[in-house]
Amino acid sequence: SKPDLEQCFNLTDFEAVARRVMKKTAWAYYSSGADDEITMRENHAAFHRIWFRPRILRNVEHIDLSTTMIGTPVSIPFYVTATALGKLGHPEGEVVLTRAAHTHQVVQMIPTLASCSFDEIVDARQGDQVQWLQLYVNKNRAITKKIVQHAEARGCKGLFITVDAPQLGRREKDMRSKFSDVGSSVQNSSGDNVDRSQGAARAISSFIDPALSWDDIPWFRSITKMPILLKGVQRKEDVLKAIEAEVDGVVLSNHGGRQLDTAPSGIEVLAEVMPELRARGLYPRPPGAPRFEIFIDGGVRRATDIIKAICLGATGVGIGRPFLYAMSAYGEAGVGRAMQLLKDEMEMGMRLIGARSIAELNPELVDTRGLAAG
């Protein structure tokens, strides 16, 4: 038996329940990080080294959490990031996340390696709900082109090219669980025969093109009008290159600590990047400059984490595992509650630091001296 949903008071509570109720192999795939999982732990721990510098007496009666992310109005600046194999955690898979995202006016990033087919996830969309596509670039560019153009035709509003996974990381927890059921859990268009002897991650990665390079970016521009963002940027020099390459933004991310262990956390990189962009006059964006938005993901578990990222200059944050855990333990209602808890936490957090709107969050409200780049 598991606690009533109302007994989950924060995102970490869902993790504890999921760990108890999920199948071992599924838990291993969702919860694992690469190698010693140092980066995975650091992702959340890094937020603890940032302190607030709250303002008082600012009339915080009305708090507005709404903002926009690459042109999309959202109720709160987080999105459901792409996580593969939703049916490991819930028989209905990713559409469960789609429904909760609709209820809460949150964007969902659809993974290339979803368990549901892409069309099922799009068909589950309601009203003016917005979805983005996460792309693993196939060695066969004809397949990639087809995926991208189909996504655009079906109304996806953003293309997030994953750039931190030329080869999938070594997740030993996952390998030990000897995952054998991948074929039935993934219905993507990778089309390759897969090696299933080394865990879910390895089995599904064989088609990803390790030869992908900056030179490929113009080609993506030529095949789609969707905004293009690079997911998995990990240092400021590559943010500068991304601006030069005229993509629409980046996600500072280490793939939830599942790729290169001891890679830095997104929030740490953000603190390194933003002063450099400000010094170069690249942020805020100069008049007439093309759009460039910076997101982070990894280890976001509290609304205070979201607030810190926005203060430092992020447009929004991605959240992965917590929604998988909420979905696995309680289905759509669980994901909905997780989102509502974040909204409640965020409203309170904003009030307590003295900010009424997302626009009022700025670096002056945080003390980053505890970070390497602080």
Residues assigned a catalytic role: 136, 164, 255
Q: Kindly list the residues in this chain that would bind ligand FNR in the complex (CB under 6 A).
A: 29-30, 43, 81-84, 111, 113, 134, 162, 231, 253, 255-256, 258, 297-300, 318-321
> Tell me, what DSSP letter sits at residue 43?
H
Q: At closest approach, how far in Å is the CB of 251 from ligand FNR?
A: 7
Q: At closest approach, how far in Å is the CB of 317 from ligand FNR?
A: 9
Q: At closest approach, how far in Å is the CB of 269 from ligand FNR?
A: 13
Q: How far apart are CA 139 and CA 126, in angstroms?
A: 33
Q: Which residue is nearest to ligand FNR (CB)?
A: 320
Burial label, 275 (beta-carbon count in 10 A; 0-12, 13-18, 19+): middle
Q: At closest approach, how far in Å is the CB of 33 from ligand FNR?
A: 9
Nearer to ligand FNR, 191 or 286 (CB): 191
Q: How far apart are CA 33 and CA 109, in angstroms?
A: 20
Q: Please tell me whether the peptide bond between 290 and the residue prior to it is cis, using omega within 30 degrees of 0.
A: no
User: Given phi > 0 = left and psi -120 to 50 = alpha, else beta, which region is 367?
Assistant: beta
Nearer to ligand FNR, 327 or 355 (CB): 327
With b for 16 or more beta-carbon neighbours within 10 A and e for fewer, the 341-370 pattern comes to bbbebbbebbbebbbbebebbeeebbebee
Nearer to ligand FNR, 125 or 255 (CB): 255
Nearer to ligand FNR, 318 or 349 (CB): 318
Nearer to ligand FNR, 138 or 355 (CB): 138
Give φ, ψ of 113 to 5 degrees: -100, 45
Q: At closest approach, how far in Å is the CB of 85 from ligand FNR?
A: 7
Angle at 131 between CA 339 and CA 222, to 5 degrees: 150
Q: How far apart are CA 305 and CA 366, in angstroms?
A: 11
Nearer to ligand FNR, 74 or 159 (CB): 159
CA–CA distance from 325 to each of 4, 10, 83, 328, 361 (Å)?
Answer: 15, 12, 12, 5, 29
The three-state DSSP-derived secondary structure of 173-193 is: HHHHCCCCCHHHHCCCCCCCC
| Residue 91 tokens, joined | 């028989």
Alpha helices in 177-235 (DSSP H): 182-185, 199-203, 217-223
Q: At closest approach, how far in Å is the CB of 52 from ligand FNR?
A: 21
